[in-house]
């Protein structure tokens, strides 16, 4: 059956790629030479990056001669505009034409870039007649600034004189525009002054782009310690949840995705909050989809302290909105927790939250956190039960796309999320020693909902035996993938054929709807996870590889994106968490079944001998999972502290039940 499915989708795919602009770098990350990057014409791109107190989108371009220009769109989420809404983070564009002056032998720096690299920062090398400069731009891990680090080497035979501006370039933001009074936005060379550089010698200069309110001191960081702090943060993430597969592109995008998912945790007045980011300034706020559903359930596996605290904080914030009248949850808690956004009605937010919170609580392995999250989960599931229709599915006003595309009165996403949440909640209830009646009720509801989902949404759509996304819909939608993620596999073959058909699949992943030109990466990332989970590893690997190479080596790199054409393919942070979950829940096949229990259903592609995921932090332990082909079967080996905790070989696609102890 699998062979015929592969043939069917391979014959119809639209996945031709343009020539790659980037390639993998030996020391990690990606790199490119000028000619490869530009192909004889100007090339432009943007990359998002963040620290605890700052977020930035670096818009950069280089022409065929190697002349680089920058637009640094820097945002300070905790300096709020007067209209304290979702998009109120103070924002300022620093263009390279207005940078503080740096002169070499009395002339403006006029080098031409020859090579480029991205690895937690954006770097490039510029060469002049007497010097070479390596420029690296990155965010401070703690301060409200981004830093551009210049390593200037004298490549000539005579000393050179480097003169940097000593005064800050300042822009005052009037008090009437901000909540906190007036603020100062500035760019500054550190250090300022004059340096004479001998032949062969190197000097370091930084340009710092920052903001502070009148009640805060100006920012004056030491450039090298800031650079090393950023590298240390990246190294810590690299040493946790380490993936090793035969595919280097997947390994690298997984590394990038861990960083992008974790770096966007902001130290707000409402506690640590993970932020989506993007051109729309989704900062210092929480969403039921981005945080509660997408990225928070991933953080226990990564083990990043900030990510874990942001997840706990998100669920605590949402728990503060549960109510005895069962009025809907806010879709977003904004402005550091001071307000809410509810402009799209009920998007299935309770289902999103119950799904994410129950998986997160189990994966933490922490009984205190589980008890803390239980009232929120219980309330959300009762809310969903009260939204059940006479057909047995769950009604919602819209979905996570908030009316951009039709969602009917009942949609596949809300019901599928509720189904999986009921299963996880039953496991959690057992751990919390809730009455058997609670466990039985959730499992009975899940069984009934599974049947109702197939009855209400199961359909033949555009020639495929799959699902209609909502009642009355006669065209394909990308979110038909969501049952695959929830282990609803009765219609897997027809659904997968539909997903990878010309109606939906493109070189950038899945179209949101057949006949449209819009794609949102989140549905592609869900689909890849679901295709693995449904037992089609060769097909999943094929398309995951295409997707990964497109995001790493194509025209817009190096992270997962939000959408196109909306918001110019923003590098929203939670999407990177979804990429990582393709590995943890799809490839490895992890499903939490208790605070120290899990099932693993590994999906080993036929072209691989095995793969490893090491230093997994979930379930309050550090452990390794090694998957290898053994004869006609697949071996799973679990190590804790280097000692074997579990080892068994089973036929491909069979489930392993594991107790971590």
Q: pTM above the 0.85 mark?
A: yes
Same domain, yes or no, for 227 and 243?
A: no
Q: Answer whether residue 86 is part of any domain.
A: yes
Same domain, yes or no, for 137 and 264?
A: no
Same domain, yes or no, for 358 and 316?
A: yes
Q: Answer whether residue 34 is part of any domain.
A: no
Residue 19's pLDDT is: 77
- Which ranges of 346-435 would DSSP assign to H, the alpha helix? 349-364, 367-386, 412-431
Same domain, yes or no, for 299 and 394?
A: yes
pLDDT at 6 over 70: no
pLDDT band at 5 (very low <50, low <70, confident <90, very high): low
> What's the residue count for the chain?
661
Q: What is the CATH number of the domain that holds 331?
A: 1.50.10.10
329-363: per-residue pLDDT in tens? 999 999 999 999 999 999 999 999 999 999 999 99
208-257: per-residue pLDDT in tens? 999 999 999 999 999 999 999 999 999 999 999 999 999 999 999 999 99
Q: Answer whether residue 1 is part of any domain.
A: no
109-147: per-residue pLDDT in tens? 999 999 999 999 999 999 999 999 999 999 999 999 999
Q: Answer whether residue 365 is part of any domain.
A: yes
Tell me phi and psi for residue 233, to 5 degrees.
-60, -45
Q: Which of 190, 208, 234 is the last residue of a domain?
A: 234
Q: Answer whether residue 79 is part of any domain.
A: yes
* Element (DSSP H or E) covering residue 552: helix 537-553
Q: Answer whether residue 309 is part of any domain.
A: yes
pLDDT at 17 over 60: no
446-490: per-residue pLDDT in tens? 999 999 999 999 999 999 999 999 999 999 999 999 999 999 999
Same domain, yes or no, for 84 and 224?
A: yes
Q: Answer whether residue 20 is part of any domain.
A: no
pLDDT at 40 over 60: yes
Task: Report the sign of the C-alpha dihedral through residues 562, 611, 591, 451, in that order.
Answer: positive
Residue 363's pLDDT is: 98
Same domain, yes or no, for 488 and 592?
A: yes
Q: Please count the structural domains in the chain.
A: 3
549-605: per-residue pLDDT in tens? 999 999 999 999 999 998 899 999 999 999 999 999 999 999 999 999 999 999 999
Same domain, yes or no, for 356 and 433?
A: yes
Residue 660's pLDDT is: 97
pLDDT at 12 over 50: no
Domain that holds residue 653: 599-659
**Interval 47-70 mean pLDDT:** 98
- Distance of alpha carbon 263 from alpha carbon 630, whole angstroms: 39
Q: At what angle do helices 248-263 and 223-238 cross, to 10 degrees?
A: 120
State the chain's mean pLDDT as an integer: 96
Same domain, yes or no, for 59 and 178?
A: yes
- Distance of alpha carbon 294 from alpha carbon 572, whole angstroms: 11
Which residues have a Cβ under 8 Å from the Cβ of 199 and sit 6 or more positions away?
Answer: 154, 155, 156, 157, 158, 159
Same domain, yes or no, for 162 and 186?
A: yes
390-424: per-residue pLDDT in tens? 999 999 999 999 999 999 999 999 999 999 999 99
- Distance of alpha carbon 281 from alpha carbon 515, whole angstroms: 30
Q: Which of 234, 257, 287 is the last residue of a domain?
A: 234
Same domain, yes or no, for 270 and 413?
A: yes
141-196: per-residue pLDDT in tens? 999 999 999 999 999 999 999 999 999 999 999 999 999 899 999 999 999 999 99
pLDDT band at 4 (very low <50, low <70, confident <90, very high): very low
Taking CA atoms, 640 is separated from 576, 597, 616, 630, 657, in Å, by 27, 14, 10, 22, 16
494-507: per-residue pLDDT in tens? 999 999 999 999 99
Q: Which of 228, 184, 185 is nearest to 206 (CA)?
A: 228
**Interval 315-319 mean pLDDT:** 98
pLDDT at 444 over 80: yes
Same domain, yes or no, for 289 and 426?
A: yes
Same domain, yes or no, for 167 and 243?
A: no
Q: Which of 206, 234, 262 is the last residue of a domain?
A: 234
């Amino acid at each position: 059956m699998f062979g015929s499915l592969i043939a069917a989708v391979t014959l119809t795919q639209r996945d031709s790629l343009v020539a790659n602009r980037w390639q993998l770098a030996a020391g990690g990350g990606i790199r490119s030479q000028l000619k490869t990057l530009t192909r004889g014409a100007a090339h432009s791109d943007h990359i998002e990056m963040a620290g605890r107190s700052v977020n930035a989108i670096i818009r950069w371009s280089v022409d065929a001669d190697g002349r680089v220009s920058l637009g640094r769109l820097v945002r300070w989420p905790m300096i709020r505009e007067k209209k304290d809404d979702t998009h109120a983070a103070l924002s300022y564009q620093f263009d390279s034409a207005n940078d503080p002056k740096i002169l070499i032998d009395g002339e403006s720096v006029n080098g031409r870039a020859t090579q480029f690299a991205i690895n937690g920062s954006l770097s490039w090398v510029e060469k002049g007649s007497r010097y070479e400069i390596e420029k690296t731009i990155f965010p401070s891990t703690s301060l409200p600034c981004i830093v551009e680090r210049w390593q200037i080497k004298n490549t000539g035979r005579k000393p050179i004189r480097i003169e940097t501006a000593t005064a800050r370039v300042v822009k005052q933001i009037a008090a009437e525009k901000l909540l906190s009074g007036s603020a100062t936005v500035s760019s500054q060379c550190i250090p300022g002054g004059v340096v004479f550089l001998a032949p062969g010698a190197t000097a370091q200069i930084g340009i710092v782009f920052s903001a502070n309110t009148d009640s805060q001191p100006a920012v004056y960081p030491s450039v090298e310690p800031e650079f090393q702090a950023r590298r240390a943060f990246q190294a810590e993430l690299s040493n946790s949840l380490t993936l090793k597969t035969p595919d280097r592109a997947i390994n690298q995008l997984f590394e990038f995705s861990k960083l992008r998912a974790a770096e966007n945790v902001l130290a707000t007045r409402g506690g640590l909050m993970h932020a989506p980011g993007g051109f729309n300034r989704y900062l210092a706020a929480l969403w039921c989809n981005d945080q509660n559903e997408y990225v928070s359930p991933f953080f226990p596996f990564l083990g990043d302290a900030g990510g874990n605290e942001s997840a706990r904080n998100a669920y605590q914030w949402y728990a503060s909105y549960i109510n005895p009248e069962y009025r809907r949850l806010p879709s977003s808690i904004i402005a550091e927790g001071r307000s809410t956004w509810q402009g799209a009605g009920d998007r299935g937010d309770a289902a999103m939250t119950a799904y994410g919170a129950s998986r997160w609580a189990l994966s933490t392995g922490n009984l205190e956190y589980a008890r803390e999250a239980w009232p929120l989960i219980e309330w959300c599931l009762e809310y969903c039960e009260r939204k059940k229709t006479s057909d047995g599915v769950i009604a919602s006003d819209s979905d996570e796309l908030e009316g951009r595309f039709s969602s009917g009165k009942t949609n596949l996403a809300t019901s599928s999320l509720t189904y999986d949440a009921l299963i996880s909640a039953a496991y959690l209830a057992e751990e919390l020693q809730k009455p058997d009646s609670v466990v039985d009720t959730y499992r009975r509801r899940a069984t009934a909902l599974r049947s109702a989902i197939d009855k209400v949404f199961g359909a033949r759509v555009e020639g495929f035996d799959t699902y209609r996304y909502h009642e009355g819909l006669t065209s394909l939608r990308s979110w038909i993938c969501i049952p695959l993620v929830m282990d609803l596999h009765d219609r897997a073959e027809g659904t997968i054929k539909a997903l990878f058909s010309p109606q939906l699949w493109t070189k950038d992943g899945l179209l949101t709807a057949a006949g449209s030109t819009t794609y949102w990466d989140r549905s592609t990332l869900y689909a890849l996870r679901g295709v693995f989970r449904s037992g089609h590893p060769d097909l999943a690997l094929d398309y995951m590889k295409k997707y990964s190479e497109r995001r790493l080596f194509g025209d817009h790199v190096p992270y997962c994106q939000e959408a196109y054409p909306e918001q110019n393919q923003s590098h929203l942070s939670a999407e990177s968490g979804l990429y990582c979950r393709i590995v943890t829940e799809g490839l490895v096949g992890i499903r939490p079944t208790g605070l120290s229990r899990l099932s693993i259903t590994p999906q080993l592609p036929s072209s691989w001998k095995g793969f490893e995921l090491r230093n997994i932090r979930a379930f309050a332990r550090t452990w390794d999972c090694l998957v290898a082909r053994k004869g006609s079967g697949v071996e799973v080996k679990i190590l804790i502290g280097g000692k074997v905790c579990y080892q068994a070989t089973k036929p491909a696609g069979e489930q392993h039940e594991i107790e971590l102890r």
